[in-house]
Structures are given as structure tokens and as C-alpha cells.
């Protein structure tokens, strides 16, 4: 199914991203704070764009597209409900997150739960983010392979190299501005593409009428517990996602951080709707596609006008790249700020820290590439990584920001139980009863946090002041 002509769109867009990254890296990145938070200067439009592009990556245009194609559009609507619901909750937390002015989620956890919680949570985040970065490597590799005929392994390696370079060169400055451009072009490209796609199957009503019966059901043949196993991981991830928190911390002020969630919510819902529509057309036009992960790109190459299809492919590649480089940057920040900086010599210069951060990005990228070989399915990789993060980090983090009774004993116990139960259920036991571990690990983490916190001493007042202010 190779269609070499589309590679020129991909190469042109990659050249733009690389050029922008090099330019911003040289012009704006002077310190580690510039590299990690863009000197806390991001405006509202840029912030909305980077939030959207960071979240909508391979997980949407390959993983979720696979689910929609396999299970149908109604089940697809349910599958994508998690992130918008999480964004609405983040709206009420964004300004508080910005006011803390930390680099990482483990920094926030340390304020409430102590240094041990910071170290353990950093390890859990690194594991999850390496998995998500691997997800983007493979998704981007699929597209390059489709467009050029390059072997999938070689294409995945090429995508990993590009993503790693972009992350290591310009840091948050480059990522945020390239995210904004990619988000804008993708939304415009998809909005132009949908009328052509729907028209090709005779209109909306005709499209619905041609759906196979098994793909017109509410859950697409899944039980409700299985359906929730697809909804909950992304919901819990976005609520505690360090990428979101790092971007709120990069906003020019607390009000900008809060307002960005409105634009993020609208654009996320829009992209989900457009993706569902495009894939639904694909169900009708390409009913027996062997590799469901590629349905968006098959539609772009075979059934859309050349220019429109090229834009969809190029921006889809860009979304995977910008998501991948974001997760690599965040994971490397955890390694440097939460582990290396705390246990190394305290006299390390800022420039040395910046150098080590870039080298860490390269090392984590290599691990992510190897990790992807053990997860043949992007969707399975996505759900495992999301659940690891959502169970180990999100309950303790939300409690740290909202529940004054949560203490260091409950928070630490919650992190250990959530991460441990995810590994036990998914890796050791291989998902008994075909249930996602979020059904086990998240409730276990929440119960552990509440019970242990209530049975142990209350947190100190000075600890609460750092999170909730003087009038807590």
C-alpha cells in the first residue's frame, strides 16, 4: 500500500519542525529553566496548542482509531470520553498547579508526602512515559512505512531518531511552538477532509446505514467492564499527567493556565469527533483492513484529495512526534530533577544540568525503542502505560491538591500499591478475566490512601500552606 508521493508532505513538515527546533533552541534556550518550562512565558494560544498536540498523538490517530474501526463509532465515542472529563476537572486545579512553580509532579508529591514519595513516583512516571514514547515511535513508524515502503522496523527507528532530536534540541520552547503549529494544521486539515470523506459514501445517513450490525452497537461487542477498561486509563492519566502540569507551570501566569483548559477541552472534543467520523467512513470503504492501526492513513492516501490527504498524514506524523518528544522531555526531567539532582553533588552548574538532561533524553529514547518490541499492539501498549501512571500517581496527586487530610503515609502507600498492583495484574498475571488492571489497581490505591491517612497523624500546617495558601 505504499504511496511514495505522500512522503514529500512528511519530509517538508519534518524539515519545518527541525528548523523551528534548532532556531528556538539557539535563540531562547540559555538555562535549564528555559529548556524545561520555556521560562514560564507561554501565552494562551500557544498553551492550548501544546496541550492538545501533546495529548493527541499516536494514542488517538492509531490506538483509538484502531478501537473505533474494530468496535464501531458508538463504542468509539465512549472510548474517548475519558480525556474531556479529566480536562474539566483540571480546569479547577490549573491555577493552583501554576502557583506551585515546580518542574515535576514528584516535586508536588514531595511537598505533601516527603522525599521517598518523590523518588518512587518519579520511577513510576519514567516507566509509564517510556511506554508512551514507545507508542509514538511505533505509530509514526507505521505512517512512514505506509508512505515509503520502508520496513516497519527501519521506519520506527527513523521516527525515534527524529523525535529524540526534536526533544533534545529545543526543549519546551521548541516543543510548545511546534505543537501549536501542528495542532492548528491538524484541526484545519481534518475539518476540510471530513466533508470529502462523508460525501464519498453518499452522505452521513448513508454512512450510518452501511455500518455492519456488529459495529453499530453501544459497546461494540465488549462487556461494560471491558469497555470501562478502555475509558478509565486515559481518564486517570490526564488527571495526573505531568505533561499537563509541566505546561500549566510554563504558562505566563495562573489565570492563563486556568483559561487554557477551556480551549483544550473544545479542541480535544473536536479532534475526537473528527477522528470518529473519518474512521467511520473507513469502516464502510475499507471493511477488511488487516492493520486497523493504519485506517486514518489509508483513508488519507486512498480516499481523500491528494493535498488534503497529504496534510492529514503530515500533521498526524507531527502529532505523534510532538507527543513523543513531550513525554521524553518530561521523563528526562524526572530523572534529572527528581533523582540525579537530589543524590548528586550539589555544586553542579546549570549548564551541566542542561547537558545531562539532553543526554538522558537520548538514553530514555533508546529504552523506549527497545520497549516497543515487546508490545506488538499500540493499543495494548497505550493502555498499560496509561494505567501504570493513572494508578500509581493520579490518586496521590489529586489528594495532594484537594484533600487536606492526606498525609505522607497514605500518599506513599498509595503510590506503591497502585504501581505494584498494575505490574502484578498486567505483567505477572496477564490480565485475568481480560479485565484492565485499572479496575483493581486504582481502587486499591484510593482505598489505601484514605485508610492509611485516616489512621496516621494529620499533615503539618506548614505543608498545607505551601499547597493551599495561608487561608487553608
pLDDT tens per residue, range 95-135 = 888 887 677 899 889 989 999 999 988 988 888 888 888 87
The answer to whether residue 112 sits within a structural domain is: yes
The answer to whether residue 425 sits within a structural domain is: no
The answer to whether residue 417 sits within a structural domain is: no
Number of domains in the chain: 1
The answer to whether residue 451 sits within a structural domain is: no
The CATH number of residue 97's host domain is 1.20.1730.10
Which residues have a Cβ under 8 Å from the Cβ of 259 and sit 6 or more positions away? 44
Domain that includes residue 335, residue range: 4-390
Identify the sign of the CA torsion 183, 191, 8, 287: positive
Of 74-83, 229-238, 252-261, the one with minimum mean pLDDT is: 229-238
The answer to whether residue 431 sits within a structural domain is: no
pLDDT, position 1: 45
The answer to whether residue 432 sits within a structural domain is: no
- The Cα 451–Cα 223 span in angstroms is 31
How many Cα neighbours within 13 Å face the side chain of 219? Answer: 11
Mean pLDDT of 353-359: 89
Of 73-82, 138-147, 283-292, 455-464, the one with minimum mean pLDDT is: 138-147
- The Cα 110–Cα 279 span in angstroms is 43
Q: Percent of the chain scored above 90 by pLDDT?
A: 35
* 199 touches 55 (CB < 8 A): no
Confidence of residue 423 (pLDDT cuts 50, 70, 90): confident
The answer to whether residue 122 sits within a structural domain is: yes
**Torsion of Cα atoms, 46 then 382 then 279 then 190, to 10°:** 10
Residue 470 has pLDDT above 80, yes or no: no
Mean pLDDT of 37-53: 90
Mean pLDDT of 395-402: 94
The answer to whether residue 126 sits within a structural domain is: yes
Confidence of residue 395 (pLDDT cuts 50, 70, 90): very high
Mean pLDDT of 429-449: 88
Amino acid at each position: 500500500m505504499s504511496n511514495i508521493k505522500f512522503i514529500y508532505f512528511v519530509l517538508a513538515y519534518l524539515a519545518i519542525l527541525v528548523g523551528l527546533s534548532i532556531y528556538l533552541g539557539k535563540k531562547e534556550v540559555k538555562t535549564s529553566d528555559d529548556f524545561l518550562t520555556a521560562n514560564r512565558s507561554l501565552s494562551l494560544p500557544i498553551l492550548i496548542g501544546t496541550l492538545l498536540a501533546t495529548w493527541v498523538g499516536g494514542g488517538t490517530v492509531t490506538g483509538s482509531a484502531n478501537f473505533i474501526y474494530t468496535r464501531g463509532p458508538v463504542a468509539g465515542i465512549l472510548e474517548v470520553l475519558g480525556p474531556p472529563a479529566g480536562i474539566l476537572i483540571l480546569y479547577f486545579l490549573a491555577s493552583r498547579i501554576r502557583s506551585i512553580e515546580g518542574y515535576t509532579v514528584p516535586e508536588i508529591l514531595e511537598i505533601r508526602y516527603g522525599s521517598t514519595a518523590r523518588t518512587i513516583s518519579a520511577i513510576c512516571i519514567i516507566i509509564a512515559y517510556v511506554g508512551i514514547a514507545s507508542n509514538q515511535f511505533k505509530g509514526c513508524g507505521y505512517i512512514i512505512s505506509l508512505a515509503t515502503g520502508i520496513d516497519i522496523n527501519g521506519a520506527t527507528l527513523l521516527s525515534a531518531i527524529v523525535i529524540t532530536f526534536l526533544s533534545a534540541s529545543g526543549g519546551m520552547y521548541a516543543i510548545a511552538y511546534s505543537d501549536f503549529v501542528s495542532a492548528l494544521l491538524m484541526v484545519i486539515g481534518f475539518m476540510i477532509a471530513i466533508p470529502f470523506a462523508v460525501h464519498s459514501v453518499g452522505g452521513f445517513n448513508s454512512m450510518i446505514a452501511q455500518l455492519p450490525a456488529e459495529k453499530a452497537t453501544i459497546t461494540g461487542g465488549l462487556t461494560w467492564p471491558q469497555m470501562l477498561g478502555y475509558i478509565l486509563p486515559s481518564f486517570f492519566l490526564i488527571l495526573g499527567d505531568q505533561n499537563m502540569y509541566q505546561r500549566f507551570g510554563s504558562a505566563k501566569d495562573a489565570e492563563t493556565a486556568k483559561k487554557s483548559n477551556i480551549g483544550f477541552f473544545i479542541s480535544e472534543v473536536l479532534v475526537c469527533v473528527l477522528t470518529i467520523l473519518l474512521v467511520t467512513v473507513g469502516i464502510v470503504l475499507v471493511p477488511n483492513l488487516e492493520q486497523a492501526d493504519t485506517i486514518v492513513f489509508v483513508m488519507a492516501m486512498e480516499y481523500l484529495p491528494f493535498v488534503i490527504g497529504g496534510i492529514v498524514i503530515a500533521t498526524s506524523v507531527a502529532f505523534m512526534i510532538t507527543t513523543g518528544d513531550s513525554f521524553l522531555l518530561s521523563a528526562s526531567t524526572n530523572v534529572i530533577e527528581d533523582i540525579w539532582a537530589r543524590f548528586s553533588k550539589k555544586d553542579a552548574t546549570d549548564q551541566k544540568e542542561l547537558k545531562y538532561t539532553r543526554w538522558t533524553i537520548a538514553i530514555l529514547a533508546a529504552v523506549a525503542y527497545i520497549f516497543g518490541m515487546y508490545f506488538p499492539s499500540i493499543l495494548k501498549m497505550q493502555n498499560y502505560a496509561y494505567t501504570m501512571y493513572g494508578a500509581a500517581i493520579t490518586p496521590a496527586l489529586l489528594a495532594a491538591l484537594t484533600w487536606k487530610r492526606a498525609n505522607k503515609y497514605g500518599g506513599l502507600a498509595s503510590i506503591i500499591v497502585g504501581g505494584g498492583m498494575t505490574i502484578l495484574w498486567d505483567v505477572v498475571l496477564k490480565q485475568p478475566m481480560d479485565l484492565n488492571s485499572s479496575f483493581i489497581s486504582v481502587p486499591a490505591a484510593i482505598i489505601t490512601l484514605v485508610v492509611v491517612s485516616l489512621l496516621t497523624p494529620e499533615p503539618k500546617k506548614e505543608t498545607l500552606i505551601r499547597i493551599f495558601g495561608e487561608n487553608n
